[in-house]
Amino acid sequence: MNSEIQPRCFERKKWGTPTPIVLSATGYLKPCNYYASFGHFEHLTEWAEKNNLDWQTDLDIKNGVHAIYESPTWKKLEQVLTNEQHNTPTTCRRECKKATGDIQNDY
């Protein structure tokens, strides 16, 4: 894994658990609590659209949680966080940026 970003959606060191996912009032399952805010969620939707992903269908809770986890949008996000960190949504880069000695890495 590239060391630029330390994705908390995989594991938070302090608790040994991933960052909580969020179910929005509009029925979308969002990959982490940072995407609960509209501004951050726009970063995710813009990223998805640039990658030709149908986020509206892929993240719709009507499809069920397991289908969302297997959707192209969710899988692509996992892929870029693991192998292509240059192609991550802005919120991921800002909120999970790895810095030596940064207390942020504990969350």
Tell me the whole-structure pTM to 2 decimals.
0.80
Question: What's the rounded Cα separation, in Å, for the pair 98 and 65?
Answer: 29
Per-residue model confidence (pLDDT) at position 21:
84
Residue 2, pLDDT > 80, answer: no
Q: What is the pLDDT of residues 48-80, one digit of tens each?
A: 999 999 999 999 999 998 999 899 999 999 899
- Dihedral of CA 73/79/84/90: which sign? positive
Question: What's the rounded Cα separation, in Å, for the pair 98 and 23?
Answer: 27
Residue 105, pLDDT > 50, answer: no
Average pLDDT, the chain: 84
- Dihedral of CA 85/64/34/98: which sign? negative
Per-residue model confidence (pLDDT) at position 28:
96
Query: pLDDT higher for 4 or 74?
Result: 74
Q: Of all residues in the chain, what percent carry a pLDDT higher than 70?
A: 79
Amino acid symbol at 100: T
